[in-house]
Amino acid sequence: MLHGLAAAVALVLAAPGFLGAADLPPHPTSPWHAGKVTNGLPETAPFCLDGALPAAGSWHRHFGTDLDTAAVQVSVRASSDAAAARLARGLERRVAACAADWLREHPDGRAQSRDYGTLPAEEGAHVYGVHTSIPDSEPGVHLFGIGRDGSTVTVVQWGRMGDLSDAPVPAFKRTTTTAVNRLDP
């Protein structure tokens, strides 16, 4: 019995599998650089997800290029498959409402979102895009991949200057599928 409990504790304490730099959509002029997989939430929450991710059971990894593109992956080991399913649904609702929420805070800006659909990875994944801009500033585009494998949920958020037409959606769908399929080390 003690051996089984020790194995369960070790699984919870171990980081889930994460993306590598080569798994992200290729950047046209710069390679991706990957930070360390780190226990806990990132210092700054991914765009649209402030306060939506629990600190308990979370891990994250930052990615960047030499220019204007960045990404972050946050994975959370929930207490059960049902808790993970609730978390994933909540994150999807938050991202789906992001453009409208952002416009309430920035009424002089423009924002739009797009649902790029579901992916057949483990217990499921979903990809969304959000574009925001305010006068006299560069526009930003963000892609979100949210998925689940058992009791582990992952979010991959990619962003750079531009609009939704600049987003590498097919490549990001592959990134999201890889992220979800890699969760169970």
Q: Tell me: the pLDDT tens digits for 70-96?
A: 999 999 999 999 999 999 999 999 999
H/E segment holding residue 178: helix 169-181
Q: Angle CA(142)–CA(155)–CA(177) in degrees, nearest 5?
A: 95
For 99-104, what is the mean pLDDT?
92
What pTM, to 2 d.p., does this model score? 0.90
- Per-residue pLDDT, 9: 45
- Distance in Å from the first CA to the final CA of the chain: 23
- Per-residue pLDDT, 178: 97
Mean pLDDT for all residues in the chain: 90
- Per-residue pLDDT, 4: 45
Of 9-13, 24-28, 179-183, where does mean pLDDT reach its minimum? 9-13
41 has a pLDDT exceeding 60: yes
